[in-house]
Structure 1
């Protein structure tokens, strides 16, 4: 009995000791966890300073040259090609005949239409004479007059179709493609030639919303092509889209006069330089400082170890830097990476 009591006491003491040790370890773990939580409360970010920087005042945009005029000439009447007067690369004048399609069928159609017209004309004269003596009614005369009008329209249509056998250039340009040969048969609508005019070209570029205010219709713009590094061309702004695309860019069309040798070719890449070549001093921040995109006009600034969300007014784009019109001052630290983990007032730790 006495031994049993001693055993119970020993077991109870052992359990009490185990519980004491467990509780002590738990308190220590909780204390360490609290310390780690405090240490990890600050989000690691990178930062830069809003500063006055010397930047190039020009805005640069790229595009592809396209011909001002381009047309694909198709046959307007079916037949066999009799003659082709031009080849690819030839310069053609407006109204110049490029090819002739056999017009025998069209000539027969014209002759038939002419015969029907002459007969309808005679019939109307006969009915009018008969009407004067009471031989026919007014309704019969009107029907004869209607038949003459229909015959006249058919004759005119046949004459137009007969004239379509001559394929002519609608404007001066260069034959970029010839799709026919003498002896080939074409149907109405068959493509025969592609004519392009590269004496004047178009360059379509996109200008973002921050710089579109600098662009005006009629403005002169310096244009260059990497293929012709020693030559510079002058472009004139002909069109500014009244509506931006999904990326908040405005399509702008420039018109460029080619040189005497037409060295600029449609399909080449071109670069347009808007504005002067001088430099300006403006307050800027890195493009990466903006939350989401520049259009958000929001940046996180560093204030007493915390990230504070600020609303700013962004100006012109200068490559990696964006002009700040208002919202923050020179010397303000702005967060440039890690914004995805931040809320207004989040503690931060700046890393190099």
Structure 2
């Protein structure tokens, strides 16, 4: 009885499930048929019906520069260490690192009490000396017997000339000659100076004037000023601290432009000259180029490295470049002017021949070109395109001749 019941259940399951299986098979066949139809429709699409998005540029003439690559570190255009000429305590510090200063601006002032006192004493001594000079000048004789001194001078001149000959012949000693020379030169000075100058020396006026000027100069040394417009750097002194004469207190740097010292191989050195164009890029300042030129060429070759030092100077717009930054530099060694140039991205190679695509009537045109010289950015085109042609510079890798294109962007180069 159990066996009969199980058999009936099995027949019922087969009877109910068979239509469901047939339905699934039918759906699969329908889907496969639909996919085949879709593929057939896709295969019917012609490549000429596809529109390719591209970027274009207008062919032009320009400069093609052959570049020499080098590396280096940025240096300030000008840099001066601020050092006091006197020792003393810092009474006032007016600046700190990074501050912009103007030429002549006071950076630091030393305690000047001692030097103010020295100047006052020098002024007092100068006043006394001027009084003595005025009194001495008023009481001096009316004049000197110039003819008397001139006769003596003529006699001593003859004696001096004779003594030189005698010294050559060994007839007198060097000490004897020195005495004759001293008498002659002393009288020569006396007869040639102004009598008032003699009075000034004898009364101490000349010495007093020198002391006064020295005291005034020392007082001026208590103020340290900026030698040019620039920025304060490496300032490690503090107000109230003590500094020694000649100690470096800070630096004033000018980074309106920077200089980059590059090592150039001896083979490339002969290709360069002062004034050649240069472009610098810095790791710390991505996507920016700084333009300048060769400022100096050291003609000495390092015997070990076989390189020479070439200094490139570039403008520092916005003062973004800081001394010590690492730079990649390209120096233009040769410039071809007024030649047809195109971006490197525009040139493709098919069948081992260089070609470009231009645009005519919304379609790409395959044109073989003859290349000239090149650099990292451009090719010189000697034949194939002319200035004014619309050139495809982006999206050209999958193009064929007379493909339909859509201009997405117009580039300038």
| TM-score bin (small chain) | 0.5 to 0.7
Aligned equivalents of 1:268, 1:221: Cα separation in 2? 17
CA contact (8 A) 1:179 1:191 kept: no
Q: Choose the corresponding residue for 1:113, options 122, 127, 149.
A: 122
Say if 2:256 is the partner of 1:199.
Answer: yes
Q: Could you tell me which residue of structure 2 aligns to residue 241 of structure 1?
A: 298
Aligned equivalents of 1:191, 1:210: Cα separation in 2? 41
CA contact (8 A) 1:127 1:141 kept: no
Aligned equivalents of 2:240, 2:272: Cα separation in 1? 53
Say if 2:309 is the partner of 1:251.
Answer: yes
* Matched pairs, number: 221
Q: Could you tell me which residue of structure 2 aligns to residue 222 of structure 1?
A: 279
Please list the CA deviations of residues 112-145 of structure 1 after superposition, one character each: whole Å capped at 9, or x if unmatched.
11111111111111112222379xxxx9976541
Please list the CA deviations of residues 307-338 of structure 1 after superposition, one character each: whole Å capped at 9, or x if unmatched.
xxxxxxxxxxx9xxxxxxxxxxxxxxxxxxxx
**More displaced, 245-254 or 100-109?**
245-254
RMSD: 2.7
Give, in angstroms, the shift of residue 229 of structure 1. 2.4
Q: TM-score, normalised by structure 2?
A: 0.50
Say if 2:157 is the partner of 1:99.
Answer: no
Q: Choose the corresponding residue for 2:224, options 136, 145, 167.
A: 167
Partner-residue secondary structure (3-state), 1:229 = strand
Partner-residue secondary structure (3-state), 2:323 = coil
Which structure shows the higher helix fraction? 2
CA contact (8 A) 2:276 2:331 kept: no
Q: Choose the corresponding residue for 1:265, options 322, 328, 339.
A: 322
Say if 2:145 is the partner of 1:145.
Answer: no
**More displaced, 183-192 or 210-219?**
183-192
Q: Choose the corresponding residue for 1:157, options 181, 197, 214.
A: 214
Q: Choose the corresponding residue for 2:95, options 83, 86, 91.
A: 86
CA contact (8 A) 1:120 1:144 kept: no
Please list the CA deviations of residues 239-271 of structure 1 after superposition, one character each: whole Å capped at 9, or x if unmatched.
1112222133221111111121x2211111111
Partner-residue secondary structure (3-state), 1:237 = strand
Give, in angstroms, the shift of residue 78 of structure 1. 2.5
CA contact (8 A) 1:131 1:141 kept: no
Partner-residue secondary structure (3-state), 1:170 = coil
Say if 2:123 is the partner of 1:123.
Answer: no
